[in-house]
Structures are given as C-alpha cells and as structure tokens.
Amino acid sequence: MTAPSLISHDAAVVKAELLRMFSSLLDPLLESARAGKLTPRAAELGTWSLVIPLGAAVLTALFAALARGSAKRAVDRLGADVVGVRWRMDADYWGTVRTTFGSVTFPWFAFRRGGTTQVPARELFPLHPDVRSSEVLLEWESLLAADHPFRKAQEALRFFCHGAADIEDNTIERHAVLVGKAIPPRWLYRKTEDLRSILRDRAVRDTKTGLPIVHVSTDAHALRLFQDETWKAGWKMVNAVRIWCKDRETDETLHLGGEFMTGDYREVVRRLRELDRDKVLPFDGDYGDGLRAVVCVVTDGLDWIADHVVPLYPNALVSLDPYHVVEQVADAAHKSFRKGRAKQVIRDARRALGVRDRRSRTYYRKGPRRRFHRVRRSGLTGSGRRLLTKVLEPLAPEVKRGKKRFNRLLSFVRRNLPRLDYGDLRRRGAQIGSGAMESLHRTGSQVRLKRAGCRWTPAVAQAILHLRMLALSGRWNEYWDQPDLAAQVAAGGVT
C-alpha cells in the first residue's frame, strides 16, 4: 500500500517523505562510491534503480493530488447540499495505473452522498479500467508497435523502462489498435497553414507560371490479410495516396501527407474529395491566403486512375511514370522480336523518352588513370510522340509474331500521349517518376507489415498503418499533446 504521507494534502509532508525516500536510495550508492566498490557501469545502473522508484513515488503524490482536487471541486459544486457527504477511502476505491515508472496506486477520493458513490477523479483517466496504461506509456507502446513486431515491442519497452513497465505483447497490440483506430485521417497530413508555408518558401516552382508544384500519386500494393472472416490469409491490395513536393534548394522530397486504405478506387476518390474540401490538396490548386499551386498527378498507367483520379484535377500536369512505359515496351518487344532486336528496341524507346540508360556495374582501374562511369543527364526532349513516330510506328511492318501485343502497346502509347511529354515536364520542374510513391510503400508499410510470416487482420493492419503515417506526417507530438486525447481514444476517435 502507498505510504499515507505521499497522499497527504499537506505539501510539506509529501516533500519530506520524498526526501526521505531519496536519501534512503542515494546513501548506499554514495557509500559504495566512497569505498571504491562501484564501477562506472554499476553507478549508472544504480542511478536508474534510484530514479525508477522515486519517479513512481512522485507520480503517486501527483495523481493523488489531482484526484483530491477533482473530488474537492465536485463537492464544492454541491454547495448547500454538501451535508451528508462521506469519503470512501477503502481498497475498492483505489486505482492502479501503469506508467513508464511502473505501476502507481493512489486513492480516487470517492465520496458517498444520498446512497450514491461518486468518483469524479475517473474523468482524469477516461481509459481506465479498460486501459490501465497512462497516456505517456500508451504513446510509447504505440510508437514501438508501429516499428516492431509486438513481442519485440514488449522487449524494447521493458529494456528502455529498465523493467519498470512490463506489458504483455498482446496487450501492446490491443492498445496500439485502439489508438490507431482513433486517429482521424486529417492527422495523416500536414495542417493547411504548414502546407502554405512549405509550398511558399521551399517547394520547386513551375518555370512557366512561377507557382509552386505539389505532387500527388496513388498506387496499390499487396498485404497478407485474413479475408472473409476466416483464418485463410491471402494477398489483398491496399491503396495508398501520397502528397509531396521537392525542396528547390536540396532536391529533398518533402512529405506533405499520405495514407493507406483497404477500399477500392471509390474509397481513393472519396478521400481525394475530402482533401480538396480540407484544403490539403485543392482540385484547382488554390490553398487560400493568396497561394496557388500547380498540381502534378503522377500515374502508373492504370485505367482507373486515368478515368477517376486525373479528371478531378482539370488544370494539373499529368505524368505517366516512364518506368511503366518502358516496361510495356519491353514486354511487347520480347514477344514480337528476337532477343537482340528486342534489346535494341528497348534502348531506342528509352532514348526517345529521354530516360537514361542504366549501368549494371561500375568499373574501377587502379592507379592514376582509373576511371569511373559518368552519370548521363536525362534528356529534356523525350516524349511519347517521339517514341510513337520514331520507334514504334516504323517497327509495325516488321512485326510478324506477337502482333496483338504490339498493337496493344501502340494503343497504350496513343491513349497516354498527353502524359508522356517528359521533356516539357522536366523543363517546368515537375517529377516524372513515381519513385516517391513507391518509397512510401517501403517506409510506410513494407518495413513493418511485410515481415516474414506476417499475417494480419484488416483492423490491425489499418491501425498500424495509421500510426506509421501519423509519424511520417510530422504531427506525432502534436497529436499526443492534445488535452482530450484519452477521451478521444476512449470514444473511438473523432472524424
């Protein structure tokens, strides 16, 4: 049971008890140090053995003071009806909360009046008793769970808390899912005022209009998810949206927000409409406060993006990732020509698009005459029109086998000609490739959710994705600093 002096209403009594405890823990360490029986490692570990119980004692006093104050205010509100109030200090009206300093037990300062027992202090811990972790411990659990398997998160939590907080891995999972589900989608993107500041001060500008360029892309990748309420896990596509810009000084990719969703293209379109409403990515690029931006939509050639996403941005620059175009050319070429001829077709297609040839390796020569491969600059004249007129159409009469596949390639290029003007896009400062979108899959999802042997329920996977994207948005601390966060989590989040 907690020492009565720690929950006293007299601050002098509480301080005296804390000083007595501090002295009792510090004196043995000082004596060992004077006697030369303490190594530097033992001194540091001994200091932690002092800090942990002392921190728990301080939290006991603080939580008790908060509970007492809450109860006192409730009693004061009774006014003339305060007669008949009886305090309940028996064991049934004490609370235990797990913290980063270990479990802390303190009285709720409940009181009974008119046959009813009231516990106003429970409002201070709205997650209690379903979640007995403090808000700080809950944050640590969520942060570790977003980066590590739950058992590893349990081990890391125990290690960094020096054994004070020992929570089961399934409890960490439950808490992380609870928090992840409560994160509103707007927190996965930077605030409008921050977006304006970044676009105004740091983003690459369109050389034609002088306006900052903001990029958006959507793509899908597969996760192992349990489906149809069975324990049979299969690959299910998860759609992602990312918004970013390039720093005009460093060429760094500046992440402005993004998220993953298990819905189909209709869910993606719905979210894009909400981002337009919230001025995170306006369809017309008008962020308000006198700031306009040029929207650049980067696609991978899928029909649903061209049919449902691109039309949302009528004045946008649109780029079809050249890697996917070359991929289409390569597939058709290998089915239509012999190996040597197919390789030549692919090289010609890359040159027509202005895409730099890749090097398989770098050669070094010893001595002063050693040479390195030079990095070729990407051409500023590449376009789908050149690919079509200089490479593909002249090849059509040569095609004897694979003619159906080659004709599909011609149709694909003709349909996407407006999105293949890479020279103009580069000159204006826009990105033509989807590397920023692909990298989000790796950092936002794959490094956590695609570990060997992982199988996920959709709810757990979505919660982890929300936690990871909250951290990437740069708003993690702001989210956890909300005064009513625990109430939001208890209510299942706000929209």
- The order of strands in the sheet holding 110-113 is 86-88, 110-113, 116-118
Check if the beta carbon of residue 482 is closer than 8 Å to that of residue 246.
Answer: no
pLDDT at 257 over 80: yes
Q: Are 268 and 241 in contact (CB under 8 A)?
A: yes
Residue-averaged pLDDT of the chain: 90
Pairwise CA distance, residues 333 & 352, whole Å: 15
Q: Residues 458-475: pLDDT tens digits?
A: 899 999 999 999 999 999
The Cα 75–Cα 120 span in angstroms is 10
What pLDDT score does 113 carry? 81
Q: Where is 178: in which H helix or E strand?
A: helix 169-182
Say how far apart CA 11 and CA 163 lie, in whole Å.
30
What tokens were used for 105? 């037990």
Amino acid sitting at position 252: E
Residue 359 pLDDT exceeds 90 = no
Q: Could you tell me the end-to-end alpha-carbon distance of the chain, in angstroms, rounded to an integer?
A: 42
Q: What is the pLDDT of residue 91?
A: 87
Q: Nearest-CA neighbor of 202 among 152, 160, 251?
A: 251
Q: Quote the CA–CA distance of 315 and 293 in Å, as a whole number.
A: 11
CA dist list (Å): 461 to 238, 242, 430, 449: 10, 18, 33, 7
Report which DSSP code applies to 150: H
Q: What is the pLDDT of residues 279-326, one digit of tens each?
A: 999 999 999 999 999 999 999 888 899 999 999 999 999 999 999 999
The pLDDT, as a whole number, for residue 495 is 31
Provide mean pLDDT across the span 200-227: 93
Q: What pLDDT, in 10s, does the model give residues 64-74? A: 999 999 999 98
Residue 116 confidence (pLDDT) above 80: yes
Find where tokens 């089961």 sit: 168
Q: Distance between CA atoms of 12 and 357, rounded to whole angstroms?
A: 76
More confident residue, 375 or 96: 96
Collapsing DSSP states into helix, strand and coil, what is residue 116? strand
Give which of 385, 376, 383 is closest to 425, Cα–Cα. 383
| pLDDT bracket for residue 365 (50, 70, 90) | low
pLDDT confidence of 78, banded at 50, 70, 90?
A: confident
pTM for the whole thing? 0.88
C-alpha R_g of the chain? 31
Which pLDDT does position 221 carry in this prediction? 87
Give the torsion sign (CA, 329, 334, 337, 338).
positive
* Contact by Cβ (8 Å): 417, 392: no
| pLDDT number for residue 399 | 87
pLDDT of the residue at 227: 77
pLDDT for 361 equals 46
Q: Which of 447, 444, 320, 462 minimizes the C-alpha distance to 387?
A: 320
Please check whether residue 433 is in contact with residue 323, taking contact to mean a CB–CB distance below 8 angstroms. yes
Residue 363: which pLDDT band, with cuts at 50, 70 and 90?
Answer: very low
